[in-house]
Amino acid sequence: MAGILYIVPTPVGNLEDMTLRAIRVLKEADLILAEDTRTSSVLLKHYDIHVPLKSHHKFNEHQTAGLIKEEILQGRNIALISDAGTPGISDPGFLLARTCAEEGIEVQTLPGPTACIPAIVSSGLPCDRFCFEGFLPVKKGRQTLLQELATETRTMVFYESPYRLVKTLEQFAQYFSPERRCSVAREISKVHEEHRRGTLAEVASWFREHEPKGEIVIIVEGAPRKHRNPAGEYGGNDGETTQ
């Protein structure tokens, strides 16, 4: 009988964000796949989890996904974790999940920590509809994507390195509008958590004067929605027509 692939979220900051179910699943697994075994060892030691660890990251996942699938088919229960957050969200995980799902293997993803949800809920921007863009391309395709996103009406969520934050905010101001509202969340669930809100121009100016550090999530207001009704008039975000 085949085993199960468990995808287990881990804390993005405070170790207490680990769920009771996640701890149990990791303790009962036959093998834990970790993005960085050194980083994950700290978490496992904290919760007294003594299960063999194996590296599974973006540089080897194409080579190891098939081998892991075979181990699960032989009856082993394997848990996948990343350095922080939910595997597959800007971290390795998608390829293995797809490989196992295509083979008919049960894939169980536990609910748990991810940086984007606390960032968007805390931003004060609409979170009923949003799109997750993760990390933007560093070079190829970046300009094209920014042009496409300029008309995106949903709230947008981005991950970014602190070293590229100011440049990215400046580009957002250039392509979206300096007056577009945004929120930059830094070090979510950690001691020095910070949320800096304002227009793109204001927040970019702040971080030019205050060097950002840590993990960054950028939330950007969507473009205004305009709808043409049958009479040829335009409506605002609430669907009412304007004369």
Gap between the Cα atoms of 232 and 241, Å rounded: 10
Topology at the third CATH level for domain 4-109 = Cobalt-precorrin-4 Transmethylase; domain 1 (3.40.1010)
Radius of gyration of the chain (CA): 21
173 membership: H or E segment, kind and range: helix 165-176
At residue 63 the predicted structure's pLDDT band, cuts being 50, 70 and 90, is confident
> Is 15's pLDDT higher than 90?
yes
- Helices in 47-161 by DSSP H: which ranges? 61-73, 94-102, 116-123, 142-149
At residue 236 the predicted structure's pLDDT band, cuts being 50, 70 and 90, is very low
Give tens-digit pLDDT for 72-92: 999 999 999 999 999 999 888
pTM exceeds 0.85? yes
Q: In CATH, which of 3.30.950.10, 3.30.470.20, 3.40.1800.10, 3.30.70.1350 is domain 116-220?
A: 3.30.950.10
pLDDT score at 143? 95
pLDDT score at 60? 85
Domain ranges of the chain: 4-109, 116-220
pLDDT score at 58? 81
> Is 233's pLDDT higher than 70?
no
Gap between the Cα atoms of 56 and 80, Å rounded: 8
pLDDT score at 239? 39
**Fold agreement (4-109, 116-220):** no
pLDDT score at 179? 97
> Is 228's pLDDT higher than 50?
no
> Is 235's pLDDT higher than 60?
no
Average pLDDT of span 146-162: 97
Give tens-digit pLDDT for 17-42: 999 999 999 999 999 999 999 999 99
